[in-house]
Structure 1
């Protein structure tokens, strides 16, 4: 029974974590686009976006990440036989990389806050698709487990990533018309 409660909290945590990351990077897009606004509005908008970014990072992303990791680790302690399965090692590696992405987003907030140029709005749009790749890979690993051919998973996620890239590029061209 404990495992089911931990799994429920783990799912709630990662859904919230991904929602926060998607929203956060979307605000990076808007922050970058504020440079195109009239000078009278630009600084106020940037200050507002920075305040919103810190709130999302501190109030949604950080707690959700901690819930995800804590409940996941407790599930592993409660069910240590998972550690003998290869899928969990790949999932944990992806989670470490996702945590790195999370921390990288914090560095972007700091740079935008101080007015340092980071990426264009289009580059941020592409960066916003990266968690989608993590989400797809991690969920497939967690659901299908060892029945999944990891080479096909990698190639499928890579193909999905290229599809997202070309879709974003097509959308950019459509918006510019």
Structure 2
């Protein structure tokens, strides 16, 4: 099971969108750091709302990944979204990120490895980007349960460069698989 990196993005300042890059470098540190030069890199949480609640929380949101297929789905509802515009660092193709269990390892290219920690909780800023888009990313399943499609979050296990065209290899965790929840 695997896919491919279709784009990589980072931003050194707080902004909803992140510009695409030719490559990004993941930094591992003792507890992972994130994307070199990205405002969300660090051992402790960097998202403003989470910092306001408790700045000492571990940063389980170091690297944000989104499946490119989401952009095609929302295009069908009249929205134009491109890689990096929802704040993700890594855009993938051919991989059902949302179905992966907690603890899955994703090998990005030749060196970098991230561990999946959970789902991204899409925020109202998505509607500031394009009015009505939040309803496309957050919805309900047939059974009434919440459906979050804004990508997944991860921490860096092994650093390295990641580029568009790099393969993404999936290593599922041993034991019972724990479904993703919001982190």
What is the TM-score when the length of structure 1 is the normalising length?
A: 0.23
Q: Which has the higher strand share?
A: 2
More helix by share: 1
In our comparison, the structure showing a higher alpha carbon Rg is 1
